[in-house]
Copies of this chain bind each other. A is one copy, B any other.
């Protein structure tokens, strides 16, 4: 796959925004509500691991039903993060690159 074919964050964001807009869900998508929804989905991802030992948590993808659940919750987290960013005009990739730069100063290598 060449780079040009790979969907990037902006492409993914456009898809989730168009999906919601086509269904008239914009009214519900205040930043406050989207931040709540993101937090709920992150908790659902965490729920998969809540009673597992560290070792069991590392093996979770070996069970296909659990693996599907993990990918499904990852998708939900990313979808709401991108919707949230679209509504507020935040560029999540740029935000992360800026944060990595700040953290390189905060946690310098020897």
Contact = CB atoms under 8 A, between A and B. Distances in A.
A8 B19 CA distance: 21
Could you say how many copies of this chain the assembly holds? 4
Interface string A25-58: 0001011110111111111111111111110011
Interface string A63-104: 000000011101111110100110111101101111110011
Contact of A16 (B90, B96, B109): B96
Contacts of A28: 51
A88 B100 contact: no
Contacts of A88: 60-61, 70
Given A7-B97, A22-B109, A75-B96, 5 more contacts: A3-B4, A35-B48, A61-B89, A74-B81, A74-B95
B78 A81 contact: yes
14 contacts: A1-B3, A12-B93, A15-B96, A16-B100, A35-B45, A37-B50, A43-B44, A45-B84, A71-B98, A75-B98, A78-B81, A78-B93, A78-B96, A81-B81
